[in-house]
Amino acid sequence: MRLFSRGKKTKTVGLLGLETSLQGIAVAHVHRTPDAVSLLHCEYREAARDRQHEELKALVGDNGWQGMPVNLLLHPSLYQIFLLEAADVPPAELRDAMRWRVKDMIGEPLEQVVIDCFSLPEDAYRGRTRMVYCVVLGKARVAEYEALVSQAGLRLSSIDITEMAFRNLGLLVGAEGINLALLRLRTSEGLVCIQNGADLYMARHIENGLARADQDLSNMTLEIQRSLDYFESQLGKGYISRLLLLPMKQDGERTREALMRDLAVKLQRLDMRELFPGQPQAELDESLQAFCMGAVGAALRQEID
Closest CA to 17 of 40, 1, 33, 47: 40
Q: Can you tell me whether residue 295 is helix, strand or coil?
A: helix
- Render pLDDT for 23-37 as a digit per residue (tens, 0 to 9): 999 999 999 888 889
Residue 30 pairs with which residues in a beta bridge?
15, 39
Whether the CB-CB separation of 194 and 240 falls below 8 Å is answered with yes
Average pLDDT of the residues in 206-222: 78
Written as one letter, the residue type at 114 is V
Q: Is residue 128 part of a domain?
A: no
Closest CA to 44 of 16, 19, 22: 19
- Render pLDDT for 153-179 as a digit per residue (tens, 0 to 9): 999 999 999 999 999 999 999 889 999
What confidence score (pLDDT) does residue 35 get?
A: 84
Lowest-pLDDT choice from 23-32, 76-85, 283-292: 283-292
Beta carbons within 8 Å of 188's beta carbon, 6+ residues apart: 209, 211, 212
Q: Is residue 50 part of a domain?
A: no
Q: Is residue 179 part of a domain?
A: yes
What confidence score (pLDDT) does residue 303 get?
A: 67
Average pLDDT of the residues in 92-106: 91
Whether the CB-CB separation of 30 and 12 falls below 8 Å is answered with no
Give the integer Cα–Cα distance in Å for 291 and 172: 19
Q: List, as own/partner pairs, every contact residues 187-196 make where C-beta atoms lie below 8 angstroms and the sequence separation is at least 24, other chains included.
A: 187/211, 188/212, 189/76, 190/220, 190/224, 191/76, 191/162, 191/163, 191/166, 192/224, 192/227, 192/228, 193/163, 193/166, 193/167, 194/228, 194/231, 194/240, 195/167, 195/170, 195/171, 196/121, 196/237
Give the integer Cα–Cα distance in Å for 114 and 82: 14
Q: Is residue 79 part of a domain?
A: no
Give the integer Cα–Cα distance in Å for 216 and 218: 6
Q: Is residue 283 part of a domain?
A: no
Q: For the domain that residue 244 is a member of, what is the CATH number? A: 3.30.420.40
Q: Can you tell me whether residue 173 is helix, strand or coil?
A: helix
Q: Is the pLDDT of residue 8 over 70?
A: no
Average pLDDT of the residues in 91-101: 91
- Cα separation values, 104 from 107, 136, 193, 206, 261, Å: 8, 12, 27, 25, 43
- Render pLDDT for 223-263 as a digit per residue (tens, 0 to 9): 999 999 999 998 888 899 999 999 998 777 888 988 999 99
Average pLDDT of the residues in 60-82: 94
Q: Is the pLDDT of residue 124 over 50?
A: yes
Average pLDDT of the residues in 48-70: 95
Higher pLDDT, residue 246 or 273: 246
Average pLDDT value for the chain: 89
Question: In total, how many domains does the chain have?
Answer: 1
What confidence score (pLDDT) does residue 249 get?
A: 83
Domain span including residue 179: 173-275
Distance of CA 93 to the CA centre of its chain: 25
Q: Is residue 168 part of a domain?
A: no
Give the integer Cα–Cα distance in Å for 193 and 202: 6
Task: Please give the sequence-ordered ranges of beta strands (E in DSSP) within 90-149, or none if there are none.
Answer: 113-119, 131-138
Q: Is residue 266 part of a domain?
A: yes
Q: Is residue 190 part of a domain?
A: yes
